[in-house]
Amino acid sequence: MITVKEAKNIILNSTQNFGVEEIPFLKSVGRVLKEDIFADRDFPPFNRVSMDGIVIDFSSFKNGQRSFKIEGIQAAGSEQITLINLENCIEVMTGSVLPKNANTVIRYEDVRIENGIAKILIDEVCHFQNIHQKGKDKSEGDILIFKNTIISSAEIGVLATVGKEFVKVAKQPKVMIISTGDELVEVHQFPLEHQIRRSNVFTLVSLLERLQIYSETDHITDDKPVLKQKIETYLKEYDVLLFSGAVSKGKFDFLPEVFKELGVEKLFHQVAQRPGKPFWFGQTNMCKIFAFPGNPVSTFVNCLAYFYPWYFKSVGLEKQEETAILAEDVTFKPNLTYFLQVKLSYRFGHLIATPIIGNGSGDLTSLVNADAFIELPNDKNEFKSGEVFKIIIYR
């Protein structure tokens, strides 16, 4: 049995490159950018008027002039016009090009307009005011978004602005999620007394959808030849297989044997943690196999604690570690890392984690009452209120 730290290291040393694909920029939210995005022109691309008002040549104002005949209008989206008489003014709109020969914008609030004459009502006016100067934010050729950024709404605006209709992103792994266990029936079925409905696969499907991975699912009965035959096929067709169940010590926990017979390299089996101890991880040349124990909380926490970081590293994403402050004393005797469910709250800039005590790894319903797991290390047994630990947020 290895420690959580060792398991994480093995997993992070087994990452995979799924390649790159080009997709429409508007479909790229949540995906990982695989090219630098450059400014295709200066930002702003012209001296851009940033207030509605009038524009003048500053030297007239400096010479004491306060009334200006309106010579024309410069609208946003119109070609640049020219201030012909430097003692006149032009009405300008936010977003418009600064007219030629003009250099100082006075907003409407500070002007009175009557009979085609604009009178400036203020005494403090600065040269170049209310003009967002060409290239002020970025110059043509500057990198606006770096490769390996995860794309959010903020990046979408920039991609649109520079005309990236299609954008290169990390390809997603092709994932098959497989449940095992003869006690399982489908969601629409009525279970007999000794049966329960399939649920872990759907939890995993939705945990992967959070990463924009759209997986497939299957259920295989606890029948070794069938398991072996199906898994042999799936190993060739998918980048990743996620299993739930059949990895512990039970008579029908065939997976470790089947993997061995199919020549899958075992990287570890069993991690010193609770819940989720019987986790099995291995690989072939082409495929990674995460075989999670079948208890719902075990499957859930292992997907977050192992598959997520593996995926992030595989696609080139660096994730900041998140921490929270334990709100209550916790005692945990076994020499295992304890992934404890917690409810999070923000208090005065502190992230507070309040333990939610469930009834063990089979207690699916307790996940609903929490937001995260706090990771209590195995090097001690007493965890005090106020101490800080890593957390894995799942909402």
3-state secondary structure at position 256: helix
Q: Which of 19, 63, 64, 79 binds a copy of itself (CB under 8 A)?
A: 79
Residue 63 beta carbon to a copy of itself: minimum distance, rounded to whole angstroms: 27
Element (DSSP H or E) covering residue 367:
helix 365-368
Q: Tell me whether residue 97 or residue 235 sits nearer to a copy of itself (CB atom).
A: 97
240 to each of 164, 251, 259, 261, 387, how far by Cα in Å? 31, 26, 14, 18, 37
Q: Which of 237, 265, 322, 382 binds a copy of itself (CB under 8 A)?
A: 322
Question: If phi over 0 gives left and psi between -120 and 50 gives alpha, with beta otherwise, what is residue 330?
Answer: beta
Q: Which of 332, 366, 377, 378 binds a copy of itself (CB under 8 A)?
A: 366
Tell me: does residue 276 bind a copy of itself (CB under 8 A).
no
342 to each of 183, 328, 345, how far by Cα in Å? 30, 11, 10
Q: Tell me whether residue 285 or residue 346 sits nearer to a copy of itself (CB atom).
A: 346
Question: Applying CB under 8 A, which part among 4-12, 49-57, 279-287, 309-317 lies near a copy of itself?
Answer: 49-57
Binding residues for a copy of itself restricted to 28-47, rule: CB under 8 A: 29, 39, 41, 43-46
Q: Which of 31, 34, 168, 198 binds a copy of itself (CB under 8 A)?
A: 198
d(CA 236, CA 232): 7
Provide the 10 A C-beta neighbour count for residue 260: 12
Q: Which of 114, 126, 349, 379 binds a copy of itself (CB under 8 A)?
A: 349
d(CA 391, CA 323): 5
31 to each of 146, 213, 288, 363, how far by Cα in Å? 13, 9, 21, 33
Place of tokens 């030297």: 59
Q: Which of 19, 115, 124, 154 binds a copy of itself (CB under 8 A)?
A: 154
Q: Which of 157, 214, 265, 380 binds a copy of itself (CB under 8 A)?
A: 157
Q: Tell me whether residue 168 or residue 198 sits nearer to a copy of itself (CB atom).
A: 198
Tell me: does residue 270 bind a copy of itself (CB under 8 A).
no
Q: Tell me whether residue 233 or residue 359 sits nearer to a copy of itself (CB atom).
A: 359
Which residues share a beta bridge with 23?
167
Binding residues for a copy of itself restricted to 105-124, rule: CB under 8 A: 107-109
